[in-house]
Chain A
């Protein structure tokens, strides 16, 4: 005999129940101050600590060189840079645009642009600047690139300067020889009282032995000494916008990392904790489908973490003067997808464990690598190759990348389509796994 009031069809996902779960989670978390406060304070503490933290010196920084001619001076600059252990010249291109594209895609971190008329300028005693563009994403890469390139350029400059000096010294000594020759000749003529050379020859000799050297000396005296002492100087153009500070580039990674920690922990409390308390059992006893439970819980934490991430961005703008370049909508899209991944991952872990302790164990196992591979503490480029490969399997890497591109570099959707697609893939896989592995069986 079947109950009449139970004839309503069983829904896979029940919107009313989903909203009930969201409301319940809201009340739960808003009353748990001891949990809410650290969740909000954590990123601020990290940010303060990071303001002063430094990493190790990176090597083999991928670099592109823009050259417009094949002059010897250009070649010697390329040789000097690629000969240094700090840089690995991955591309020599002929326009700045090409190099910028590589920079946007993260293929290179530094652009060195040699001006087109460098050789002519040197020949004409004019000062030229070598333009350097550094990606600030990793503060230690930026710092290292700058100081090493300044040294390399000043070395080349002093070499050129020495060459020029030697050339002038030679010119002066030739001039003095010529004038001596002319004066000796002149004295000879006067003492003998006769003209040895024809008149037109005398005029020629005067021109080449007196007028020309005088002209050279005059020219030399008018040369700006700075241009001879420093024929080539280091110049820098900001990669994106102006007045960027290292922290600006850390913020996206910090947000990505904080969201990961917060979302995973939050889900642990919500699912594994409720398993321990037995309140999840109570939910399992009701006619509520797994998908409804998962959706309701995930949605709440996605909303919660989005608010937390927004607060974090606001704080970094007001407290640390971080500037947001890109579109807020795009930042929002990246954030929500990434938050969905993290909460689902937390759900996946807590769905498969039996106790909160087990959850903490697994969560720690995943959180620690994420913490250090996020690029917040150490630039990924400064790590050994295999660590860089490992970093590729964590969604945090792609999220930090996409956020950095949009927030700091102000780039559009086309540049982040790949990380975004990878993130979506992560989300789908994790969600499917969660639904499949979510067990009601309380044993």
Chain B
């Protein structure tokens, strides 16, 4: 069992009367990719800002890599990397100069900076552009440079605050691959996103936040099972007829919870999958009912998310 690299205890942040983070408790294991999901204003960025020492919590405490959040800010800053939401490098400096400057601020020696900046720039596919000034980079390039700057000193924990928001698909994929690769080499990653699919793809565990609180915590599968009941089998019928008997017959089969026919779509909610696919297929064929398609429609994270937050994503 890996150690907890982050332990958050009753963390609260208030801005005037508004409570952005409300009594948060959470642990993060070393080496995992933890996804932070939540609508805008859920308190994700505020949480990240507190954990990265940018803002002070109103109350509560946290330990990051063994350091006390309130007392040992400088020590914490020397073990965490942060990819902020928006571009936050020096537009007048070239890609390489940006990395060199940040490296110096982390106290690295010139040789290490040169070695690491070369290898990281290659990794984020910016090596060819290392002598161009960052201000004229595209959004995707800027974000990759931002990631590069965050890992120049090989941090133990990397916070990524919506790193793919507003990027083209190629850049999104590139950022995700870099993230997975970093994690493979042992880096713990806290990843906030709006994108359910992305969270499902790269995160080991997902935290769902809303109204400053953690309302869901687990792997994508765990969340789905915990918050969504049953499996959905959908059959697209060729003929648009209402057969009452058929529906009643299906309902009699064990494991079937609910049957619904709307237009030409027959939706069957099942408790267990077992061999239900075959049984229903057989039944339909014996009744000579023609259908175009039959497939399981698994509840996705978005369903979980919406059922938990009771609202649509606001992007």
Residues in A lying within 8 Å of B, measured CB to CB = 1-3, 6, 8, 10, 14, 16-17, 20-21, 23-24, 27-28, 31-32, 274, 277-279, 281-289, 440-443
Determine the chain A residues whose CB is within 8 A of the CB of B104 once the complex forms.
16-17, 20
Q: How far is A287 from B107 in the complex, measured between Cα atoms in Å? A: 8
A1-B3, A282-B88, A287-B106 known; A442+B78 contact, CB < 8 A: no
- Quick one: which of B54, B97, B101, B106 contacts A284, CB cutoff 8 A? B54
Q: List 14 A-B contacts (CB under 8 A).
A: A6-B78, A8-B107, A21-B105, A24-B97, A27-B92, A28-B90, A282-B84, A282-B89, A283-B105, A286-B106, A287-B105, A440-B53, A441-B54, A443-B55
A3-B79, A443-B55 known; A281+B92 contact, CB < 8 A: no
Q: How many residues of B contact A (CB 8 A)?
A: 37
A285 and B101 form a contact (CB under 8 A): no
B23 located at the interface, meaning its Cβ lies under 8 Å from any Cβ of chain A in the complex: no
- B52-66 CB contact bits vs A (8 Å, 1 = yes)? 111110000000011
Q: Closest Cβ of chain A: how far from B43's Cβ, in Å?
A: 14
* B19-72 with Cβ < 8 A to chain A: 49, 52-56, 65-67
A17-B104, A24-B101, A286-B102 known; A281+B88 contact, CB < 8 A: yes
B84 and A281 form a contact (CB under 8 A): yes
Closest B residue to A32 by beta carbon equals: B92
B105 and A442 form a contact (CB under 8 A): no
Closest A residue to B135 by beta carbon equals: A31
B133 and A16 form a contact (CB under 8 A): no
Closest B residue to A292 by beta carbon equals: B105
Q: How far is A441 from B53 in the complex, measured between Cα atoms in Å? A: 8
Closest A residue to B80 by beta carbon equals: A285
Determine the chain A residues whose CB is within 8 A of the CB of B126 once the complex forms.
none
Q: Closest Cβ of chain B: how far from A385's Cβ, in Å?
A: 45
B75 and A10 form a contact (CB under 8 A): yes
Determine the chain B residues whose CB is within 8 A of the CB of A1 once the complex forms.
3, 65-66
A3 and B97 form a contact (CB under 8 A): no
B89 and A279 form a contact (CB under 8 A): yes
- Quick one: which of B79, B91, B105 contacts A277, CB cutoff 8 A? B91
Q: Closest Cβ of chain A: how far from B84's Cβ, in Å?
A: 6
Determine the chain B residues whose CB is within 8 A of the CB of A2 once the complex forms.
65-67, 75
- Quick one: which of B65, B74, B102 contacts A3, CB cutoff 8 A? B65
Determine the chain A residues whose CB is within 8 A of the CB of B75 once the complex forms.
2, 6, 10, 287
Determine the chain B residues whose CB is within 8 A of the CB of A283 once the complex forms.
105
- B100-132 CB contact bits vs A (8 Å, 1 = yes)? 011011110000000000000000000000000
Determine the chain A residues whose CB is within 8 A of the CB of B88 once the complex forms.
277-279, 281-282
Closest B residue to A8 by beta carbon equals: B107
Identify the interface centre among A17, A24, A274, A281: most chain B CB within 10 Å of its CB. A24
Determine the chain B residues whose CB is within 8 A of the CB of A442 once the complex forms.
49, 54-55
A282 and B149 form a contact (CB under 8 A): yes
Q: How far is A28 from B90 in the complex, measured between Cα atoms in Å? A: 8
Closest A residue to B82 by beta carbon equals: A285
B101 and A31 form a contact (CB under 8 A): no
A3 and B106 form a contact (CB under 8 A): no
Q: How far is A28 from B3 in the complex, measured between Cα atoms in Å? A: 43
Question: How would you classify the secondary structure of chain B's contact residues: helix, strand, loop or mixed?
Answer: loop
Q: How far is A10 from B101 in the complex, measured between Cα atoms in Å? A: 19
Q: Closest Cβ of chain B: how far from A443's Cβ, in Å?
A: 6
* B146-164 with Cβ < 8 A to chain A: 149, 156
B281 located at the interface, meaning its Cβ lies under 8 Å from any Cβ of chain A in the complex: no
B227 located at the interface, meaning its Cβ lies under 8 Å from any Cβ of chain A in the complex: no
Q: How far is A10 from B76 in the complex, measured between Cα atoms in Å? A: 12
B107 and A279 form a contact (CB under 8 A): no
Q: Closest Cβ of chain B: how far from A249's Cβ, in Å?
A: 39
Q: How far is A10 from B86 in the complex, measured between Cα atoms in Å? A: 29
A2-B66, A286-B77 known; A16+B107 contact, CB < 8 A: yes
Q: How far is A181 from B203 in the complex, measured between Cα atoms in Å? A: 137
Q: How far is A279 from B52 in the complex, measured between Cα atoms in Å? A: 15
B93 located at the interface, meaning its Cβ lies under 8 Å from any Cβ of chain A in the complex: yes
- Quick one: which of A27, A278, A281 contacts B93, CB cutoff 8 A? A27
- B243-279 CB contact bits vs A (8 Å, 1 = yes)? 0000000000000000000000000000000000000
Closest B residue to A289 by beta carbon equals: B74
Q: Closest Cβ of chain A: how far from B49's Cβ, in Å?
A: 7
Determine the chain B residues whose CB is within 8 A of the CB of A8 once the complex forms.
107
Closest B residue to A6 by beta carbon equals: B78
Determine the chain B residues whose CB is within 8 A of the CB of A284 once the complex forms.
53-54
Q: How far is A8 from B74 in the complex, measured between Cα atoms in Å? A: 11
Q: How far is A27 from B92 in the complex, measured between Cα atoms in Å? A: 7
Q: How far is A159 from B88 in the complex, measured between Cα atoms in Å? A: 81
Q: Closest Cβ of chain B: how far from A271's Cβ, in Å?
A: 13
Closest B residue to A274 by beta carbon equals: B90
B84 and A278 form a contact (CB under 8 A): yes
Q: How far is A283 from B82 in the complex, measured between Cα atoms in Å? A: 11
B107 and A28 form a contact (CB under 8 A): no
Q: Closest Cβ of chain B: how far from A24's Cβ, in Å?
A: 5
Identify the interface centre among B55, B65, B80, B102: most chain A CB within 10 Å of its CB. B102
Determine the chain A residues whose CB is within 8 A of the CB of B86 once the complex forms.
278
B52 and A285 form a contact (CB under 8 A): yes
Q: How far is A202 from B91 in the complex, measured between Cα atoms in Å? A: 115
Q: How far is A285 from B56 in the complex, measured between Cα atoms in Å? A: 13
Interchain residue pairs A-B with the least CB separation, the first 5: A278-B88, A20-B104, A286-B105, A287-B78, A287-B77
Closest B residue to A443 by beta carbon equals: B55
Q: How far is A282 from B52 in the complex, measured between Cα atoms in Å? A: 11
Determine the chain A residues whose CB is within 8 A of the CB of B231 once the complex forms.
none
Q: Closest Cβ of chain A: how far from B32's Cβ, in Å?
A: 16
Q: Closest Cβ of chain A: how far from B94's Cβ, in Å?
A: 9
B291 located at the interface, meaning its Cβ lies under 8 Å from any Cβ of chain A in the complex: no
Q: How far is A120 from B105 in the complex, measured between Cα atoms in Å? A: 81
Identify the interface centre among A1, A274, A284, A287: most chain B CB within 10 Å of its CB. A287
B15 and A443 form a contact (CB under 8 A): yes
B87 located at the interface, meaning its Cβ lies under 8 Å from any Cβ of chain A in the complex: yes
Q: Closest Cβ of chain A: how far from B74's Cβ, in Å?
A: 5
Q: Closest Cβ of chain B: how far from A277's Cβ, in Å?
A: 7
Q: How far is A274 from B91 in the complex, measured between Cα atoms in Å? A: 10
Q: Closest Cβ of chain A: how far from B100's Cβ, in Å?
A: 8
B92 and A31 form a contact (CB under 8 A): yes
